[in-house]
Amino acid sequence: MVRLTVRLLAMAKKNMQAQMEYYSKFSPSPLSIKQFMDFGQSKDVDSAKSFVFLRQELPVRIANIMKEINLLPEKLLQMPSVRMVQGWYQQTFEELLEYVEKTEEEDPVLLRYINQLTTIRNRHVNVVETMAQGILEMRESYKVDQHEENNVQYFLDRFYISRISIRMLINQHTLMFGQIPTTHPLLVGSIDPSCDIVAVIRDAYDSAKYLCDQYYLASPDIDVRWIDARDGSDSIRMVYVPSHLYHIMFELLKNAMRAVMEHKGPSASEFPPIGILVTKGKEDVTIKVSDEGGGIPKSEIDLLFNYMYSTAPAPPKPGVSIIPPLAGYGYGLPISRLYAKYFHGDLTLSSMDGYGTDAVVYLKVLSSEASELLPIYNSAVSRYYKTPTPASDWSTPGYFIRNYTTKRYGK
């Protein structure tokens, strides 16, 4: 009996691997915000059409990123937290495969599928933190070379944007066709056809201010201005996902507040406000967040988007601190940039060391141009992981001085 059970488990695992190989050969099908909107607002929209698309698309997106996980450094794959994440994805993939062969599109199947997607979304809610913990485990256990660090950075950008895309598809389906209605009748799933950019910014500020007040017992104000270069409207509105914009702005404002408070000191009588300028042009809605928090050295700007770098102390363990932290794993900026890039926007930083920092968010004005940016697993990806980091063909700072002093002074 035991042998039979082991044999059946081995066969099931082999079959799942074969299915993963099969679906990873397909490229994901990126959708634009306009396509999401057109489908959600069409007169004959129903859950059966969405089900037919998702039962093929979700396994493809998951298989693509799961194949890539196996190319990560063995040091990272050994970590318990990373194995846990792998287990979640494998379980999700197996559950989704049950619906691939279902040709009947009747109400019981459609309702069961919605419940399944809700279960999957809840299962993956802590993926970012768990993977971040896996990175910490690796750094504590091994010395990581530059090639391995580059591979981890490359993978996590692709892994997290894949996660954003999968959650987007799941949210659209469950919000539109689930038993619980959307929070607002004008929303199309999670998309607001007339998203008030300034209102979302103010909501994000209120949340960041709450944390800042608890942590520092004070907080800087914001000064918001906006310019609509298209039609001179008294507000900036566009078709967008408010939760994505909120995530980006909350992180930027939280960082700006922390910088101002620590630069000026908690005993300061007043704090310079954080300036926010929103403009709407022909192609982009641009949001600039400017603080006077002392700035960042130019040498550290790129490091702020590195998952293995953080200017903040390590996050407190559960139960250790009752004060909500203003910084944690150092993933806030990298993930926020991915949210901006997901629909072909961007997030950049520029700084004046000793004075302050400007963060600029770019969002596509036209919903037809705001298409998903998705990772694809192919031979080029595999080559990237295997190719060693090339030796630098440029001089590095301090190289001449180090060699000169060694030769001349024997230091």
| Range from 138-142, 159-163, 314-318 carrying the lowest mean pLDDT | 314-318
CA atoms within 13 A on the CB side of 53: 17
Active site residue 173: no
389 has pLDDT over 90: no
Which residue out of 68, 148, 251, 372 is catalytically annotated?
A: 251
pLDDT tens-digit series, residues 15-38? 888 999 999 999 999 999 999 999
8 has pLDDT over 50: no
pLDDT at position 274: 98
pLDDT tens-digit series, residues 324-338? 445 556 789 999 999
75 has pLDDT over 80: yes
Which residue out of 67, 255, 280, 292 is catalytically annotated?
A: 255
104 has pLDDT over 80: no
What does the pLDDT average to over 37-62? Answer: 93
Element (H, E) at 362: strand 356-364
Greater confidence, 308 or 194?
Answer: 194
Residue 238 CB coordination number (10 Å)? 21
pLDDT tens-digit series, residues 188-231? 999 999 999 999 999 999 999 999 999 999 999 999 999 998 77
| Range from 97-111, 201-215, 276-290 carrying the lowest mean pLDDT | 97-111
pLDDT at position 392: 77
Mean pLDDT of the chain: 88
Torsion of CA 223, 277, 324, 215, to 10 degrees: -30
Active site residue 74: no
Which residue out of 67, 173, 247, 264 is catalytically annotated?
A: 247
Which residue out of 244, 254, 264, 280 is catalytically annotated?
A: 254
**3-class secondary structure, 356:** strand
Domains of the chain: 10-184 (1.20.140.20), 192-364 (3.30.565.10)
CA distance 222 to 289: 10
Element (H, E) at 166: helix 146-177
12 has pLDDT over 70: no
CA distance 255 to 337: 14
pLDDT at position 132: 93
Active site residue 124: no
